[in-house]
Amino acid sequence: MYKDLNVPTPLNLKDLYGNRYKVTLDESSTCPGESKRDPWYFRIPCKYGHIYPISDKYLGFWCDSGVIKARMVREAPEIELVQDGDGEGVFRFTVEQFEIVAEYTHPFKKRGRRNLSNMEKSQLVEAGRDHQFSLGFTGKKRSTESTEGI
């Protein structure tokens, strides 16, 4: 990790949005000598690009959809377009403007584990019991279906 006293500490996406949105690592974090805990490498994948830290005050959104880019420029002028390309663009915004950007970008939600009660677990096991397929030591099916005569 590059240490320079003149470089600001970026906004930490994991601390800010890690409980609601999926936070991944940029591909460049796999380079030798780089730390996977460095907040510069965190990003939030979205349906139309990704959100990443720019500085200690700003976040960026790389947009890979020309339609979404045009909508954001037209409908959200407070979000600054800092780089314009053919069908893609880069926007700069503050933490306070994150929800506005999220309406257009559709960041991927964090997927949690399902919490099932013991009763729900037993109901699921019972419902799947008739559809189980497993071979015993004899090589015969344990299910009620038969494959004889096929």
Q: Does residue 20 carry a pLDDT above 80?
A: yes
- Just give the CATH number of 13-105: 3.90.1150
Residue 86's pLDDT band, with cuts at 50, 70 and 90, is: confident
Domain boundaries, the chain: 13-105
pLDDT of residue 142: 56
- What does the pLDDT look like over 73-84, one tens digit per residue? 999 999 999 999
pLDDT of residue 150: 56
pLDDT of residue 135: 63
Q: What is the DSSP string of 67-128?
A: HHHHHHHHH-TTSEEEEE-SS-EEEEE-GGGHHHHHHHH-BPBPPPPP---HHHHHHHHHHH
- What does the pLDDT look like over 23-63, one tens digit per residue? 998 887 777 777 777 888 899 999 999 999 999 999 999 99
- What does the pLDDT look like over 101-149, one tens digit per residue? 999 999 999 877 777 788 888 888 888 887 776 665 555 555 555 555 5
Tokens describing residue 69: 């880019």
